[in-house]
Amino acid sequence: MPISPKDRKYLFGNKVFTHRGKTLIDIGSSVDYRDFISRLDSIDSKLAEVPNNMEGRPDLISYAAYGSPNYWWLIVEANEVYDYEIDLKAGTVIKIPQI
């Protein structure tokens, strides 16, 4: 299931709105995005331990796992991360979806 990180906002139905004069794209509330996220458990994953130098940095974990920092959102969603500093502490075992 290859996903182009640059095209992520176009893959899922989304809402466009403005806030404080800036255009924002909300993919999180789209049915397609929620459906994709609900299927993450069925995607093969590897387990990895967050190293000290990547604590709280899903972008660095993404770069190490996929060769691109743009898949940070996949790491966050697969591990139900709410707060990077708390949920991605060094030594925490996380899932790395194999995309």
Give domain limits for the chain.
Answer: 1-38, 43-99
Question: Is residue 68 over pLDDT 80?
Answer: yes
pTM beyond 0.75: no
Quick one: what percent of the chain has pLDDT higher than 90?
A: 51
Q: Which three-class secondary structure string do you get for the chain?
A: CCCCHHHHHHHCCCEEEEECCEEEEECCCCHHHHHHHHCHHHCCEEEEECCHHHCCCHHHHHHHHHCCHHHHHHHHHHCCCCCHHHHCCCCCEEEEECC
Q: What is the model's pLDDT at position 17?
A: 73
Q: What is the model's pLDDT at position 1?
A: 44
